[in-house]
Amino acid sequence: MTETLLTVSELKERFVDVSEVMQADIKKLVQHQINTKSQAILKKVYAKNPEAKVMIEYTIIKNKQGKYEADFIFIADGEKFVTESHQGFKIATDLVSHAFDKWKRSMLGLRGWRKLFK
């Protein structure tokens, strides 16, 4: 028996000076993160409130040095978590993994991160 994947209510992305090929790779990875790492978070949110709204909004920019920067905003049932990566990553998809890892640690209280839901 397969378990139904939980999903987010709204997903918004914005890219600045990022190639179409890289945009496609980033979008694919974001969806993969939602379908894998984020399932524990989504289960927790929807268990608390089945009508919860979960939104992810992100902006990825290729800076003048050719490195990537990002802002990710995760909103789960009114609780907001923001992660910013402005030191410049050489690989844009690393920004996605980094942001989702921080969100997961925050939401699930892993490795010293503050729990938003109890």
Query: Domain for residue 3, yes or no?
Result: no
Q: Is 77 left (phi over 0), alpha (psi -120 to 50) or beta?
A: left
Query: Domain for residue 1, yes or no?
Result: no
How would residue 117 be classed by pLDDT, with cut points 50, 70 and 90? Answer: very low
pTM, rounded to two decimals? 0.83
Question: Tens digit of pLDDT for each residue in 12-46?
Answer: 999 999 999 999 999 999 999 999 889 988 998 88
Whole domain around residue 54: which residue ranges? Answer: 10-108
Query: Domain for residue 39, yes or no?
Result: yes
How would residue 109 be classed by pLDDT, with cut points 50, 70 and 90? Answer: confident
Query: Domain for residue 4, yes or no?
Result: no
Question: Tens digit of pLDDT for each residue in 37-74?
Answer: 899 889 988 899 999 999 999 999 999 999 999 999 99
Query: Domain for residue 76, yes or no?
Result: yes
Supply the CATH number for residue 41's domain: 3.30.160.100
Domain count, the chain: 1
CA dihedral angle for residue 116, residue 108, residue 41, residue 38, rounded to 10 degrees: 130
Query: Domain for residue 5, yes or no?
Result: no
* Tokens coding 43: 């289960």
Query: Domain for residue 118, yes or no?
Result: no
